[in-house]
Amino acid sequence: MAKEHQRVTSADVARVSGLSRATVSYVLNNNPRQSIPPETRERVLKAARELGYHPYTPARILRAGYSQLVLVVIQFEQVDPSIAHSLKELEARLAARGFSLIWYVGIHLMPSHTHPSVNLTPGVIVSFVNESDPTITAFLQQFNVPILPLHNPASRPSVGNTQVGYLFEHHQRRIVFAAPERADLQRLANAHLEGVRQACAQYKLEPPLVQVVPASRREAHAAMTALLAQQSPPFGICCYNDEVAFAVIAALSDSDIPIPASVAVIGCDDIPLAQFCHPPLTTIRFDNQRVLDLLTENILAANQGKPVQEPPPISLAVVVRQSA
């Protein structure tokens, strides 16, 4: 029979390094209250690397009294580039404070299946979900840990308001909202659209037309053809995000509609590809630095049972390129 695999412990590291278990424990747990000479620290870490030592999570949680794992639950079919970028920055901030971040994309709650995340022991959950769904709420609450939102929901209408304001300043008086086809984005898209509607009312413009833009080029072209049949240029299109804007620009180009002379297009997120489309995409950029800084502090506070601060509104800026 194959030899049973045994977990490498701190006692093994102490034996190989020739140091006391207390010293090894101080190094492996990065105890800030103990001053360890650099050569001793390196000796312990070298032995740990050679043995393939990994901390035993249940014991570490019991010893510390809290988990250093942060679980991010995202209720989407896929992660959009802007969300992925924010999560990578949040991951780096937490890693610098000794915490680990894990993403879980999509929530498939079926009675006959156990959700994979039940095997995790997070100290805090960061969510980007539909908070009004009682099933989702019950799922998150089963962990019995603090739950923090990834983004301030109040920021989404301000995107539409900013888009319309920019188009209005550049003499667009008829507005269209290009909505995504994906079902999982409809809640956010409706909040974005509400901001577009509010801004149209503020500037005394007609309510915006709404056009769903499919992800395939052929179907996007058909959607733009239908739009042009009921709305003649010039007009401006506020897109749900940059990916929808790419589909809009491709469909308008296939119809030989000049951009921005006949139709101005503005996106949202300023993903890296926005500068490379033709024409380069005018879009909305989120300044997430202050938000991520505060979210990091809130995660650390919530993990220790301390009060958290209200998330600030996200600062927006228009990135001007040639599409509008």
pLDDT digit string (tens) for 52-68?
A: 876 655 555 444 445 78
135 and 171 share one domain: no
Q: Which domain holds residue 110?
A: 62-150
169 and 280 share one domain: yes
| Strand ranges (E), the chain | 69-74, 100-105, 124-128, 147-149, 175-180, 209-213, 235-239, 263-266, 283-287, 315-319
Side-chain half-sphere exposure of 102, counting CA atoms within 13 A: 15
259 and 188 share one domain: yes
Which positions of the chain have pLDDT values less than 70? 1-7, 31-33, 54-66, 106-119, 153-154
- pLDDT for position 75: 79
H helical segments located in 18-103: 21-28, 38-51, 57-64, 81-95
- pLDDT for position 4: 46
141 and 84 share one domain: yes
- pLDDT for position 1: 37
For residue 324, tell me if it sits in a domain.
Answer: no
Question: Which position has the token pair 């039940």?
Answer: 118
167 and 273 share one domain: yes
25 and 82 share one domain: no
E strand or H helix that includes residue 312:
none
The CATH number of the domain holding residue 50 is: 1.10.260.40
Domain limit, last residue, from 133, 150, 167: 150
User: Token pair for residue 243?
Assistant: 């990916």
15 and 90 share one domain: no
141 and 213 share one domain: no
User: Token pair for residue 259?
Assistant: 């951009």
Angstrom distance (rounded) from CA 161 to CA 233 = 21
- pLDDT for position 66: 55
97 and 143 share one domain: yes
Angstrom distance (rounded) from CA 32 to CA 15 = 23
82 and 48 share one domain: no
